Structures are given as structure tokens and as C-alpha cells.
Amino acid sequence: MAYKLKEVVKKPDRLTGGHRMCAGCGAPTVVRGVLRALKTEDKAVIGSATGCLEVATTIYPYTAWKDSFIHNAFENAGATVSGVEAAYNALKRKGKVTENYKFIAFGGDGGTYDIGIQSLSGAMERGHDMVYVCYDNGAYMNTGIQRSSATPKYANTTTSPAGKVLPGKMQYRKDLTGVMAAHEIPYVAQSAITQNMKDLYEKAEKAIYTPGPAFLNVLAPCPRGWRYDTPKLLEISKLAVDTCVWPLYEVVNGEWKLTYKPKEKLPVEEWLKPQGRFKHLFEKNNAHLLEDLQKEVDVRWEKLLKLCGEA
């Protein structure tokens, strides 16, 4: 979809400043980027699973959301927003609603990969015209940095602590974007916060204005859980993309397309080094752990290249 950057940046923010998210957090940047893709004249109903985003933007009696907002339980963001979409369609058929609304759910990886995957899967399978956005920060950050199925292997969390017995979490992260692509819905994409936000904006616009269900998985670095200096938000995000730890691609009606290919694929340790949760990997005798992570990134990258016809 064609757009002019100068016009995009002039759009008013639908998530206001003054919320209580941490400095250097990727989640509010993701939300603002997604909501900016809405047409100015369109209204939206936003749903959010319990998590950092919800608790920090809706501290009673205040809200940072300019659109209609629903906070629901950890496990049912997909069900709630799909129900609102169904009610809207019924009211519109009866002539009781004439305005155009879009329906967007946000959830962290805990409320999406794990606890909320059943309601997300159901909403996508039923074909509701809605977008589900996962802001993936790789752990249950709101409740104390516990590991989730989105946590990378060997990450140090409070429930997978790195020590003498185990070097952090022992499982590779779940490929949720691939899981959602297997639902054969109209639009699935993986994105990240980049310097010009172009990738996220374009994918959000496609997701919102493609009829039917859509899913966006967006990397949302967390300075508290990842242990990086807060000004390095964009740097950490870019390193994830350039090391192919977090590749950028989309699946449109079953067709896989790579949307960014690094000119030089960086070694995975370049992404790991700035993060305190991986500092134990650079200790003596742990080189084999770095080799293991590099091998897994390479295998997944080559698989993606084949799916996208880039091999």
C-alpha cells in the first residue's frame, strides 16, 4: 500500500505519552508503530492481555489509550476481541452502527505463546476480521522475568537461572510465527523496531486492512529482563535482525516472502554480547554453547530461505 512518510509521521499518536512503561522498553514503540498504520478516520477497539503493557498504560483512574480499550485476562485476549468484532458486525447489519472500526489485540509472549495460545488459535481459525499483535520480549517480564516458550535457549531468567548445574533455559524458543502461518490465515508477519519503522508500518497496514484474521509477531526488547543499557533499544533490535536471530518476513495467503536480507549476516554473539542475561555464555569453557546457538540460528535461517524461495 502506497504512503507518504511525511504524512505518516504527522498522524496523532493513539497511545499517549506519560504511561509507566520502563525507559528503553520496546513494547510502547511497537504499539505506537502499529496504531499509526490506522487511517485517521477509522476508529479502533483495542484489547490487551494482562502484562506489562496493560498494567503500565491503564493505572486507575488514568489511561494512555485514545481508542476504546478492553483489559481482559491473561488467557483470552483473542476471544475477547473476536467477540467484540462479532458484536460489531451484528450491530452494523441492523443499522445501529455506521462508523468504521478496526479490532486489534495486543499480548506479550507469555499471554500469546503460552497462556493465550488457545484463544488466539480459535479466533484465527474462526476467521474474525481482526489483528493480533504479539510484542515479544522473551519472558514473563511483568511478574519477575520468568522463562516463557519465547525465551531463547541459555537465557538467564528467574525460573531458568544460569549456574553450575545448568547454563540457563535448556530449550530453543518456539516458532510461533510459523505456528500461526500453519493456520492458513490471510496475513502473518514477523517484524521488529527498526530505525525508520518502515517494516513495521507496512506490515501493520497490511494486517489491519487485509480482510480476515491477521497476526503480527514483533520483537520488543526489554531492558529489565535482557539487561541492556536503555538507549540501546534500536541497536539491540537491529542486531537481532542482522544476526538472523529474528528474521523479517511475511506470509500472504500462504506465500512466504523475505522482507529483509542482511548484506552481511552477523554472528549470533554480536546480539548476545550487549545482554546481561547471556553474559555467562562468554565465560571460560562455554564456547560450545555459543556454537550450539549459532548452529540453530543457521538451520532456521536456511529453512526460512527455502520457504521464501531465496535458497
Q: Structural domain of residue 153, as residue ranges?
A: 5-307
Instruction: Name the grid cell of 198.
Output: 518502515
Phi, psi of 136 (to 5 degrees): -95, 105
Count of domains observed in the chain: 1
In angstroms, the CA 275 to CA 32 distance is 25
Q: What is the CATH number of the domain that holds 40?
A: 3.40.50.970
Q: How far are the Cα atoms of 74, 273, 295 from residue 283, in angstroms, in the given order?
A: 37, 12, 19
Q: Which amino acid is at 15?
A: L
Extract the residue ranges of the chain whose pLDDT is less than 70.
Answer: 1-3
Question: What was the pLDDT predicted at 156?
Answer: 98
Cell readout for 188 is 502473518
Residue 289 pLDDT: 98
Give Cβ neighbours of residue 254 (< 8 Å, ≥ 6 apart): 181, 184
What is the C-alpha separation between 126 and 116, in angstroms, rounded?
16
